[in-house]
Amino acid sequence: MSSTLETRPGPPPPAASDERVARQSPLSRLLARPEVGALVGAILIYIVFFIVAPPFRQPESLSSVLYVSSTFGIMAVAVALLMIGGEFDLSAGVAVTSSALFASMFAYQFTLNLWVGVAAALVFALLVGFINGYLVVKTGIPSFLVTLGTFFMLRGLNLALTKAVTGNVATNDVSNMDGFDSAQKVFASSFTIGNVSIRITLLWWILFVAIGTWLLLRTRLGNWIFAVGGSAPSSRAVGVPVNKVKIGLFMGVGFLAWFMGMHNLFAFNTVQSGGGLGNEFIYIVAAVVGGCLLTGGYGSVIGAAIGAFIFGMTNLGIVYAGWDPDWFYFFLGALLLGAILLNSFVRKRAEAMR
Partner 1 sequence: MTAVVPETATPLVRLTDAGKNYGNIIALRGVTLEVSGGEVTCVLGDNGAGKSTLIKIIAGLHEHTSGSYEVEGEAVHFSSPREALDHGIATVYQDLAVVPLMPVWRNFFLGNEVRKGLRMDIGFMRETTKKELLDMGIDLRDVDQPIGTLSGGERQCVAISRAVYFGAKVLILDEPTAALGVKQSGVVLRYILQARERGLGVIFITHNPHHAYPVGDRFLLLKRGQSIGYYRKSEISRDELTALMAGGAELEELSHELESAGGASADAAKILGEEVHDLGIDRVSTKEAP
Where along the sequence are the contacts to partner 1 (CB under 8 A)?
1-8, 11-12, 14-15, 18, 20-21, 24, 218-220, 223-224, 226-227, 230-231, 233-241, 293, 297-298, 350-354
227 versus 249: smaller Cβ distance to partner 1: 227
Q: Calculate the CA 60 to chain-centre distance.
A: 24
Residues contacting residue 326 through CB under 8 Å, at least 6 positions apart: none
40 versus 217: smaller Cβ distance to partner 1: 217
Closest approach of Cβ 138 to partner 1, in Å? 14
Closest approach of Cβ 33 to partner 1, in Å? 12
Closest approach of Cβ 301 to partner 1, in Å? 16
193 versus 238: smaller Cβ distance to partner 1: 238
Please state, in angstroms and rounded to a whole number, the distance separating the CA atoms of residues 96 and 101: 9
Please state, in angstroms and rounded to a whole number, the distance separating the CA atoms of residues 44 and 38: 10
257 versus 293: smaller Cβ distance to partner 1: 293
164 versus 238: smaller Cβ distance to partner 1: 238
Closest approach of Cβ 346 to partner 1, in Å? 13
Q: In this structure, are residues 261 and 285 in contact, taking their beta carbons and an 8 Å threshold?
A: no
6 versus 324: smaller Cβ distance to partner 1: 6
101 versus 301: smaller Cβ distance to partner 1: 301
Please state, in angstroms and rounded to a whole number, the distance separating the CA atoms of residues 76 and 84: 12
Closest approach of Cβ 71 to partner 1, in Å? 29
30: left (phi over 0), alpha (psi -120 to 50) or beta: alpha
296 secondary structure, DSSP code: S
Closest approach of Cβ 209 to partner 1, in Å? 18
246 secondary structure, DSSP code: H
Cα 172 to Cα 38, 159, 272, 351: the distances in Å are: 41, 14, 10, 54
Please state, in angstroms and rounded to a whole number, the distance separating the CA atoms of residues 208 and 222: 15
Closest approach of Cβ 45 to partner 1, in Å? 28
Please state, in angstroms and rounded to a whole number, the distance separating the CA atoms of residues 118 and 113: 9
Please state, in angstroms and rounded to a whole number, the distance separating the CA atoms of residues 101 and 270: 9
